[in-house]
Amino acid sequence: MFDIGQKVAVIDIGSNTTKALIVRVEREKIIQEVASKSLPCRLIDSGASEIINFSKAQQDLVLSTLKELFAFCARYHVFKTVLVATEAFRKSTNSAKVRSEIECQIGQEILILSGKEEAKYIFHGLTLDPLVASVSSMQAFDLGGGSLEVMHRNLDELSFAESLPLGALKISGKFFTSIDLPLEKAQVSSARNMLNEAFKYAGLSTQKEASLIGLGGAVFFLRKILNREAGIAFDERCRLDFHKIQELFERSASLTTEDRLKSFPDLPGNRADIFPVACLIIAELMKFLKQDTLIHSFFNLRFGVAACLVSKPELFNVSGQ
């Protein structure tokens, strides 16, 4: 059990970025964000095959990134830190070796979440969002570099939660010769066909009355770009239109990475290459689900893990600080 005022942290090793969230225990089972930080840390090569194998450079990058994020958390006098990893660590052929070496150097166990665990923690985080907590029927997705988590909720019941290997880096490596160049139409068509087949195979279904919630860095930057272009402050609008996302895909896909950075100054360098592919995945998912709009939420995996850590600490009986 945690005392009111104590701080806990969750560090999430993703496939394209590694992120830290620090929350404070406000009262029993209630948490409040204190600080967060995100660092680029690409662990899946955008031109790679289906096989993931961490290079020495990637291992060193993870280690240096984690050291920086642990130092960040230490400044807030965090009582407990949980370190989780997702698709890249799930699928890498040398994951166990790299995990062991990193754990030895940082003195903290890495919890590698299964795809279903990741989807369920994301959903748990979403339930903390006041914007969507009252929504009775909800479809949600979290697009990362390695995977796409999709969840459905009817009333208070989680009816569907799956992790699909359809992240922006995965799709980039599978279908596109070079994502630094304008995307080739034939390759876009192949990617579209595969995505739709994957959605069908996974059992995704349309729910006319459901609201669609989107999470992840790609959705964040979609919101940032579209709101800026509309002359609207970031905080003023969290709802994104399908046709605007589709249009942004077409524009960004016609540019080189260098020109994307010039045309969309809000895009960071570690996202500009995969941004059109991320837009494509989101647009195809919305089309498949017959959703005209999505609502962007910040209440993600890290919020879900933090909330569960506070309410059920026995689930995280791990060593480390």
Domain boundaries, the chain: 7-116+301-316, 134-296
Mean of per-residue pLDDT scores for the chain: 93
pLDDT value for 318: 44
Mean pLDDT (whole number) for 89-112: 94
Under the banding of pLDDT at 50, 70 and 90, the label for residue 135 is confident
Q: Is residue 242 over pLDDT 80?
A: yes
Under the banding of pLDDT at 50, 70 and 90, the label for residue 134 is confident
**DSSP structure class, residue 114:** -
| C-alpha pair distances (Å), 259 with each of 3, 44, 144, 247, 272 | 51, 23, 23, 17, 9
Mean pLDDT (whole number) for 134-162: 89
Decide if 143 contacts 168 (C-beta within 8 A).
Answer: yes
Q: How far apart are CA 127 and CA 143, in angstroms?
A: 18
CATH topology classification for 134-296:
Nucleotidyltransferase; domain 5 (3.30.420)
| C-alpha pair distances (Å), 271 with each of 20, 220, 246, 279 | 18, 11, 18, 11
Is the whole model's pTM more than 0.85, yes or no? Answer: yes
Name which residue leads in pLDDT, 48 or 303: 303
pLDDT value for 152: 92
Decide if 133 contacts 73 (C-beta within 8 A).
Answer: no
Joined together, the tokens standing for residue 265 give: 């100054």
Q: How far apart are CA 126 and CA 99, in angstroms?
A: 29
| C-alpha pair distances (Å), 277 with each of 39, 131, 158, 189, 313 | 21, 28, 29, 12, 38
CATH topology classification for 7-116+301-316:
Nucleotidyltransferase; domain 5 (3.30.420)
**Least confident stretch, 31-35, 152-156, 182-186:** 152-156
Decide if 108 contacts 72 (C-beta within 8 A).
Answer: no
Mean pLDDT (whole number) for 2-16: 94
Mean pLDDT (whole number) for 250-275: 96
Under the banding of pLDDT at 50, 70 and 90, the label for residue 208 is confident
Joined together, the tokens standing for residue 37 give: 């930080």
Q: How far apart are CA 180 and CA 274, in angstroms?
A: 8
Give helix then strand counts, H and E, for the chain. 12, 11
Under the banding of pLDDT at 50, 70 and 90, the label for residue 133 is confident
Mean pLDDT (whole number) for 106-128: 94
pLDDT value for 206: 84
Q: How far apart are CA 204 and CA 199, in angstroms?
A: 6
- Using CA atoms in the order 114, 120, 121, 123, what is the torsion angle rounded to 10 degrees? 150
pLDDT value for 92: 93
pLDDT value for 47: 65
Pairing mode, strands 148-154 and 157-164? antiparallel
